[in-house]
Amino acid sequence: MPETTAREFPPGFLFGAATAAYQIEGAAHEDGRRDSIWDVFTKVPGAVINGEDGEIACDHYHLYQDDVALMASLGLQTYRFSTSWSRVRPDGGALNPKGVDFYKRLVDELLQAGILPWLTLYHWDLPQALQDRGGWTRRETADRFTEYALDMHDALGDRVDVWTTLNEPWCSSFLGYTAGLHAPGHYSRSEGMLAAHHLLLAHGQTVRALRARDSSLDLGISLNLTVADPADPAEPADVDAARRIDGQFNRWFLDPIFRGKYPQDIFDEIADDALRAAITPGDLEVISTPIDTLGVNYYHGEFVGGSPPATPPGSGDAPTQRRGQSPFPSSENIFWHDRGLPRTPMNWEVQPEGLTRLLVRVSDEYAQPAGTSLIVTENGAAYDDEPVLEDGTIRVHDHERADYVRLHLGAILDAVEAGVDVRGYFYWSLMDNFEWAWGYATRFGIVRVDYETQERAVKDSGIQYGRIIASRILDSETTAGVSPSPDAAA
Ligand code: GBH
């Protein structure tokens, strides 16, 4: 529904869009780049729908100038992207100057367009050479990461102020090493926990190293956080299922980073000898090095119970179902229930109110007491877009995505009204791209990409976003007329 009253975004609130290197760059073996774990994982039969990979993706490596021009035309104030470790240090070790040069060109282009570069050092693409030596299950990988981060700072420290160490370490560790759904495609609870610890360590020691270089940098991490609700709040087993989901998605990362401690309840339940041995004295002190900004990635909440629902909620996450594996180290007796919320074609619930609650909670319990800023670094939805040709122009009337964006921006304003300081919002994603295990059919962009021609076309949701950015107001003026939803048009 359109907003009835005009709501203004706070001064300084940043509007942006996000991408990640492997999902858009292509040029996977150009200018010295070598395999990351995703180049290898995508070759495993059945790992990705239709066997697709990021070899060409959106060819952003060659089209970055056009893409920055597109960002400028949308009025984006900031652009969140990641740098590819295997471009910069193809074997995880020695520097590849040509790889670094690409990011220098990209950042220069952004700065020229007046767009703030929001740089993420790791969005899941570990150099395969490091995986061959054990990847994130090895402590040494954290040291290699810090060296790579310092290379990037050598190259870009004079031009980039905002540095995010990791994107969603939960995914890198538990989807990658435990559930087998992401690279490197392992099925080990123990490896997942080791990976999570070493990722957190890599984060903490890199924050320290970068801060030692330049105390004025804005340093942080982006976490995939969620809201877990019990199917029946009066049913202890359901409440317990929600506690464990919250513990493993949220507190397993927030507590070490902000409190220097793993959450005791979850630790007692899942920590094995290997993890206990891997945590050496001082690790949690390093991991809890203060950060300036916490990035919140929010897509959907979790509605769970301790026993299966009478009717299962839709088809479930397709790749999860295909493998029949659970991503959690301790997920016995956790079942997803249905509460009648709308769902995207990926079967993800649309629950904007969850974002409000999440921001309030994370602010109250973690960020605010630590003096850390909050920003939404990812939020978005994939829908079955139907491109149409109108007067020679490709249009996508993606009213569901436009609604999704408007509802979540409204949810952020609700949090702001509740007293939460939110620095801004990045829509995921700037453009359709390689959606990991889902391949290219799953489209998240506010810009459509034609993978045959690499032609870009701004979708209606992008036009709406541009209007919101220009006016800094959420109301029926900025959001109407772009792509009326069927009931609004009636
Ligand atoms: C983000 O992660 C990624 O950062 C981005 O690269 C990606 O393109 C984007 O989302 C869209 O998917 O329990 O296996 O059913 C998404 C975080 C956390 C969302 C886990 C789905 C349920 C996965 N995800 N969640 S599963």
pLDDT tens digits, one per residue of 164-210: 999 999 999 999 999 999 999 999 999 999 999 999 999 999 999 99
Contact 424, 379 (CB under 8 A): no
Reply yes or no on whether the pLDDT at 4 is more than 80.
no
* Ligand 1 pocket, residue 435 CB under 6 Å: yes
Whether ligand 1 lies within 6 angstroms of the CB of 20 is answered as yes
| Contact (Cβ atoms closer than 8 angstroms) between residue 403 and residue 479 | no
Buried b (16+ CB within 10 A) or exposed e, 321-353: eebebebbbebeebbbbeeebebbebbbbbbbe
- Return binding residues for substrate: 23, 123, 167, 299, 428, 435-436
Q: What is the pLDDT of residues 346-376, one digit of tens each?
A: 999 999 999 999 999 999 999 999 999 999 9
Closest CA to 176 of 314, 380, 40: 40
- Measuring from atom 11 of ligand 1, which residue has the nearest CA? 435
Which whole-number Å values give the CA distances from 14 to 11, 116, 161, 266, in the listed order? Answer: 9, 9, 15, 35
Q: At what angle do helices 399-417 and 460-471 cross, to 10 degrees?
A: 30
Q: Where are the beta strands (DSSP E) in 407-475?
A: 422-428, 447-450, 455-458, 473-474
Instruction: Find the range with the poorest average confidence among 160-164, 230-234, 336-340.
Output: 336-340
Residue 294 bridge partners (DSSP): 221, 374
**Ligand 1: nearest atom to the Cα of 20:** 6
Residue 487 burial (10 A CB sphere; 0-12, 13-18, 19+):
exposed
Q: How far is CA 144 from CA 116, 138, 203, in A?
A: 27, 11, 12
DSSP 305: E
| Cβ atoms within 10 Å, residue 212 | 9
User: Known catalytic residue: 109?
Assistant: no
Q: Which residue has the tokens 């007329």?
A: 481
pLDDT over threshold 90, residue 308? no
378 in contact with ligand 1, CB cutoff 6 A: yes
| Tokens read off for 193 | 């926990």
What is the distance in A from the centroid of ligand 1 to the CA of 382?
A: 11
Nearest alpha carbon, ligand 1 atom 22: 317
- Work out the pLDDT band at 411, boundaries 50, 70, 90: very high
Q: Indicate the fold that domain 7-225+255-301+341-474 takes in CATH.
A: TIM Barrel (3.20.20)
How far is CA 24 from its chain centroid? Answer: 14
Q: What is the pLDDT of residue 444?
A: 98
**Is the minimum distance from the CB of 327 to ligand 1 under 6 angstroms?**
yes
Cα 85 to averaged position of ligand 1 atoms, centre (Å): 21
DSSP bridge partners of 373: 293
- Kindly report, residue by residue over 75-90, the tens digit of the pLDDT: 999 999 999 999 999 9
Q: How far apart are CA 57 and CA 28, in angstroms?
A: 9
- Rounded to the nearest whole angstrom, what is the distance from the C-alpha of residue 311 to the centroid of ligand 1? 24
Catalytic residue among 168, 302, 349, 400: 168
- Cα 24 to middle of ligand 1, angstroms: 16
The verdict on the CB of residue 444 being under 6 Å from ligand 1 is yes
Residue 315's pLDDT band, with cuts at 50, 70 and 90, is very low
For residue 246, is it left (φ>0), alpha (ψ between -120 and 50) or beta?
Answer: alpha
Ligand 1: which of 297, 321, 383 to mutate, judged by most atoms within 8 Å of the beta carbon?
297
Task: Indicate whether residue 299 lines ligand 1 (CB < 6 A).
Answer: yes
Cα of 299 to ligand 1 centre, how many Å? 8
pLDDT reported for residue 85: 98
Rounded to whole angstroms, how far apart are CA atoms 106 and 11? 28
Distance 5 CA to ligand 1 centre (A): 33
Mutate which of 82, 118, 168 for ligand 1? The one with the most ligand atoms within 8 Å of its CB, which is 168
Q: Is the CB of 428 under 6 A from ligand 1?
A: yes
CA distance 183 to 166: 16
Q: Which residues have CB under 8 Å from 148's CB, separation 6+?
A: 85, 88, 89, 92, 121
β-strands 228-230, 302-305 pairing: parallel
Q: Which residues contribute to the annotated binding site?
A: 23, 123, 167, 299, 428, 435-436
Q: Which of 178, 224, 404 to mutate to test the pocket of ligand 1 (most atoms within 8 A of CB)?
A: 224
Check if 193 has its Cβ closer than 6 Å to any atom of ligand 1.
no
Residue 434, Ramachandran bin (φ over 0: left; ψ between -120 and 50: alpha; else beta): beta
pLDDT of residue 311: 72
Beta bridge partners of 343: 349
What is the Å distance from ligand 1's center to 224 Cα? 8
Least confident of 20-34, 397-411, 470-484: 470-484
Closest ligand 1 atom number to CA of residue 382: 11
Residue 224 CB less than 6 A away from ligand 1: yes
Q: Which of 3, 25, 52, 378 is catalytic?
A: 378
Give yes or no for residue 483 CB within 6 A of ligand 1: no
Any atom of ligand 1 within 6 Å of the Cβ of 167: yes
Pull the structure tokens for residue 264: 């005791």
Mean pLDDT of the chain: 94
Q: Please indicate whether residue 30 is annotated as part of the active site.
A: no
Please state the domain extents for the chain: 7-225+255-301+341-474
